[in-house]
A and B are shown apart, each in its own frame.
Chain A
Amino acid sequence: MKSKLPPQPPIWADKLLSLVCAPHLLESILGDLHEEFDYQVGESGERKARMRYWREALGFLKWRYIKRPKKRYPSTFILSHDMIRNYFTMARRTLAYNKVYSLINVVGLSIGLAAAMLILLYAKDEVSFDQFHANSPNIYRITNKYINPAGKQVGATGNTGYVAGPKFAAGVPEIKAFVRYHGHRNDIKKGEEIKSEEIFRVDSSFFSVFSFPLLSGNPKTALKEPRSVVLSEDMAEKHFGSKDVLGRTILMKDSFDKDARFEPYTVTGVAKKSPQNSSIRFDILIPMIIGQSEIYRATNWFNTFMNTFVLLNPEANLAQVERKMNLVYNADAKEAIKEVAQKYGMKDKKEYSLQPFTDMHLSAELPSDNGLVRHSNPQWSYILTGIALFILAIACINFVNLTVARSLRRAKEIGIRKVVGSGRMQLVIQFLGESFLLCIVSFIFALVLVQLVLPTFNHLADKALALSYLFDINLVLGYLALFLTTGLLAGFYPAIVLSGYDPVKTLYQRLQLSGKNYLHTSLVVLQFTIASFLIIGTLTINSQFNYLINKDLGYNDEHLISVEKPNLTREQAQLLRQELQKDPSIIAVAPKNNGRWNTSVKVNRGADLAFTYETVDPEYLPAIQVPVVRGRNFSTVFPADSTSSVLVNEAFVRQAGWKDPIGQIVDFSYENFKCKVIGVVKDYHYTDLNEKIGPQLFAMRPSNPYGRFFVKIKPGTETSSLRHIAETYTRLFPLNPYTYQFMDDENVKRYESEAKWRQIMLFGTVLTIFISCIGLFGLATLSAQRRSKEVGIRKVMGASVASITRLLTSDFLKLVSSSLVFAFPLAYYAIDKWLQNYPYRIGIDVFIFLEAALLAVAVAFLTVSFQSVRTALTNPVKSLRSE
């Protein structure tokens, strides 16, 4: 038999009314509606009846039916003085009674809060970068973009030459002032000692545009005179041993100019140390004077090598100013643009624009470089924030899990409170208050912790942060917000759950946490997902780092010393080699150009090919042990080598598309100079591994100066060889400062940022695992206590210690294992993305995932098994005696 249910009125209408209407009216309203519905179904069919039902129901959505009646009894006073005192007593007793849990919570939360505080400090520093200048909203940097004929942007640079600043300032009325800022090196003589120091050549408007206070000297005139110099207080202290040095002289000369002589500069100002959140940090400033040797650069729009800043009128319209700048440029550089297009075949159009001074620090497209320091990658901030939030979240999860799991013990208290008249709101306030109390304690510990780890953090993050920065209204507000959020996050859920207990059940001891606590399990899974994710991330960064520093670079950088010598002439190089090789432990001496030169030539009669241009001599390739794979190396046997022969690397050959590279012609068209390829050099990593090996060309042209030389020494002779090199150098070049580097050390230093990532990730991971584990430990302890009777019975019935341990441990291990299911794909995605940054990278290895899985499970197992074994070993008499 099939019986059909009678038609039912729309359930959603009922739900809506039950939600909105006053409870005391609801029964008769719903009753009437239902009765009418029944009647209407009989009268005009179900469909119409439903429609009518909705219409009728919506008619009841009026204030008259929503308004709640006045309560007949006065509600309890929520913030009664005595009760608050009682809450504090209870909180204190509960915390003291459950020392382990309080400790777990406080330790976890303190670490989490400390991490978050550090990140806030870091973020504040990043955001406030360069903001301290009084003119800061109106200072811009002149930048330019290259637009190809198709209208697409193909490049951008923040660097300019000498000409842009003065021309724009003269041609655009909105530009009030300009400052050129050129990082350079000068040799400084102090007694007999010569040292090379970084200096900055700036325009005299420097101190009126930027706010760098002077300890002594007049900021308006300090940089007016050609032979004046402004020192930082540190530099003054270092050079003169005093800060009061106004009017004294210092002997300096250009490090790179071969004709320069030491000249006296008068100290016209001593500046305060540059703030640490400044892109401009200087020790020595001298006025910008364009010397005779550079006169060709003074009007060149296309030679860019430094930064130019402009100060705009506050009312200036940025787009207008940029438009005017380009008008000035196109008018002034008309001839030059044509010439460049002809000579170098440059088809891209150059467009000038302005970048706000405060944007440079975090800009990826136009970074603060070329004398501007401490550029940082915004990705850094994201990763750091992510890790801090992870740690804090895990600590909060611990709090929630432990409080809820432990709440059974407090059930009776809740029951009694309810029976004697506590409202739900009061209980919520009480429990929230407890979590806030714990939070305050953790907060204080966190502050101490931050103070302790700040030096390490500063070192890792390349910052100079101090806790005293805290006295800043925004940061204090930020910390307050952090505190409140943590307190709420950790305390809210437990407060709601605990206050909802039914007093009857709690007092009859019938209350049980429902068998499967999904929230609780999923939170544990979440914790370990984060932990495993971080483990995988750390392992990947670690192996990528090892890969970078251990990868075969294609040349031998061991026992290879690099020494700088500006303007090393061919004769000097010859002499140097002779002198150095008097010591048998010196295997080879190879001069080379300093820095990195990029240029392009025409190959295959027309196509441009850009490459790295190396100036070497025949000994260079053997010295760094790079083989010539085809053709031959330069040789003194062929005198023409120095003028008309070049070597290229394999990448060059590939890019030029040559089948038979030997004998091909490369055309330095801008110099009307053609060379023949005589050999192909095996590719080697001439720069760091963050860059793919590009085309490289080696030449010996006498017109290209050498800037440094490599010395290959025998292993084990470092001390004697270095002494010999230093002696020879100072004897031959008494006017040049001597500095040397070991190439293998230098190559490791290239990966400092990776090394820091590795360390920060490692810290983050260790903390995450630690906090997750103390949480798990707490849960395991609670579960062992709850199941002590069960364990007792099992033991009496003959269960072995091993089987009971397995029983107690397996639950948690299952959770941890399932967290891996979530962590693996997430981690795979993240590390895949990260590794894309590296042209030379490790493959994503299954082994890393296995290692991470093993580590997570092992750590969880160790944490849990301690409690499990202890429970399994207890004498069943103890646990069973109580009944």
Chain B
Amino acid sequence: MKLIDNMNRAYLGEFEEIVLLSTAALDGRAYGVLLMHEIAENTGRPVRLNQIHSALQRLEEKGMIRSNMSEPTPERGGRRKRLYILTAYGEHTLTQVREVRENLWSRIVKPFTLAIDL
């Protein structure tokens, strides 16, 4: 049953979901600053670095992403980046979230129309 499946699903906050999705979208290039810019651009809301870092930390603790260090980069004063990629569990969670959403969307009988009907 799908319902029981849903109950098993790990809890994912809204911001975490966005970070997780962005990480997936960046496909292995995701790291702190880049994620911040992506999210700010795509959602239009101001994001601070420490929020991204804490979301990433939480996701890593939940096992949805994993990280490894890149080569040293000159623009960071010779520091390495911590690059994040999704784990299988992360991918699975995202798929589930999407299924739930789509399932719900499909049950809306009267799709929304634009408020100003031209």
Contacts and interface: CB of A to CB of B under 8 A. Distances in A.
Contacts of B79: 27-28, 30-31, 34
B77 A34 contact: yes
A32 B75 contact: no
B53 interface: yes
Contact of A60 (B50, B75, B76): B50
Contacts of A29: 32, 49, 53
Interface stretch (A35-43, A180-188, A257-265): A35-43
B81 interface: yes
A65 B56 CA distance: 12
Contact of A35 (B48, B51, B54, B76): B76
Interface string B28-51: 000111001100000000001111
B54 A56 contact: no
B57 interface: yes
A235 interface: no
A39 to B, nearest CB: 7
A67 to B, nearest CB: 10
Nearest to B32: A32
A678 B10 CA distance: 119
B31 A32 contact: yes
Main secondary structure of the interface of A (DSSP, over half): helix
A489 to B, nearest CB: 42
A704 to B, nearest CB: 96
Given A64-B54, A65-B53, A32 B48 contact: no
A291 interface: no
B81 A28 contact: yes
Contacts of A64: 54, 57
A38 to B, nearest CB: 6
A62 interface: yes
A56 B82 contact: no
Nearest to B76: A31
Interface string A649-686: 00000000000000000000000000000000000000
Interface in A2-54: 25, 27-36, 38-39
A30 B78 CA distance: 11
Interface string A54-69: 0110011010110000
Contacts of A55: 48
Contacts of B77: 30-31, 34
Contacts of A36: 33, 36, 49
Interface size class of A (residues with CB under 8 A): 20 to 34
A33 B49 CA distance: 8
A28 B53 CA distance: 9
Contacts of A35: 33, 75-76
B80 interface: yes
B33 A56 contact: no
A31 B37 CA distance: 15
Contacts of B53: 25, 28-29, 32, 60, 65
Interface residues of B, number: 21
Nearest to B35: A32
Contacts, number: 63
Contacts of A30: 76-77, 79
Interface in B65-91: 69, 73, 75-77, 79-82
Which residue, B36, B51, B77, has most C-beta atoms of chain A within 10 A? B77
Nearest to B81: A31
Nearest to A9: B77
A64 B54 CA distance: 8
A30 B33 CA distance: 11
Which residue, A28, A36, A39, A55, has most C-beta atoms of chain B within 10 A? A28
B51 to A, nearest CB: 8
A34 B49 contact: no
A62 B49 CA distance: 13
Nearest to A29: B53
B80 A31 contact: yes
Contacts of B75: 34-35, 38
A62 B50 contact: yes
Contact of A34 (B37, B48, B76): B76
B113 to A, nearest CB: 39
A59 B32 CA distance: 14
Contacts of A28: 31-32, 53, 79-82
Interface in A62-84: 62, 64-65
A609 B57 CA distance: 92
A567 B53 CA distance: 103
B72 to A, nearest CB: 9
A49 to B, nearest CB: 13
A36 B37 CA distance: 9
Contacts of B69: 27
Contact of B54 (A33, A34, A39, A62): A62
A544 B45 CA distance: 85
Contact of A59 (B31, B37, B48): B48
Nearest to B57: A64
Nearest to B49: A56
B32 to A, nearest CB: 4
Contacts of A34: 75-77, 79
A32 B57 contact: no
A27 B49 contact: no
A56 B80 CA distance: 19
A27 B80 CA distance: 7
Nearest to B58: A64
A50 to B, nearest CB: 15
A793 B54 CA distance: 66
Nearest to B79: A31
A863 B89 CA distance: 79
Contacts of A56: 48-50
A59 B33 contact: no
A64 B50 CA distance: 10
Nearest to A36: B33
B54 to A, nearest CB: 6
B33 to A, nearest CB: 5
A33 B82 CA distance: 13
Contacts of B81: 28, 31
A14 to B, nearest CB: 10
B49 A32 contact: yes
Interface in A694-710: none
A9 to B, nearest CB: 9
A883 to B, nearest CB: 44
A843 to B, nearest CB: 67
A25 to B, nearest CB: 8
Contacts of A32: 31-33, 49, 53, 76
B58 to A, nearest CB: 9
A59 B75 CA distance: 22
Contacts of B57: 64
B50 A59 contact: yes
Interface string B92-110: 0000000000000000000
Nearest to A38: B75
A157 B7 CA distance: 92
Contacts of A60: 49-50, 53
Which residue, B48, B49, B51, B73, has most C-beta atoms of chain A within 10 A? B49
A25 B82 CA distance: 10
Given A31-B73, A62-B50, 9 more contacts: A25-B53, A28-B31, A28-B80, A28-B81, A31-B80, A33-B49, A34-B76, A59-B49, A62-B54
Interface of A: 25, 27-36, 38-39, 55-56, 59-60, 62, 64-65
30 contacts: A25-B53, A27-B80, A28-B31, A28-B32, A28-B79, A28-B80, A28-B82, A29-B32, A29-B53, A31-B76, A31-B81, A31-B82, A32-B31, A32-B32, A32-B49, A32-B53, A34-B77, A35-B33, A35-B75, A36-B33, A38-B75, A39-B33, A55-B48, A56-B48, A56-B50, A59-B48, A59-B51, A60-B49, A64-B54, A64-B57
Interface of B: 31-33, 36-37, 48-51, 53-54, 57, 69, 73, 75-77, 79-82
Closest 8 CB pairs of A and B: A31-B79, A59-B50, A32-B32, A31-B76, A28-B82, A35-B33, A32-B33, A36-B33
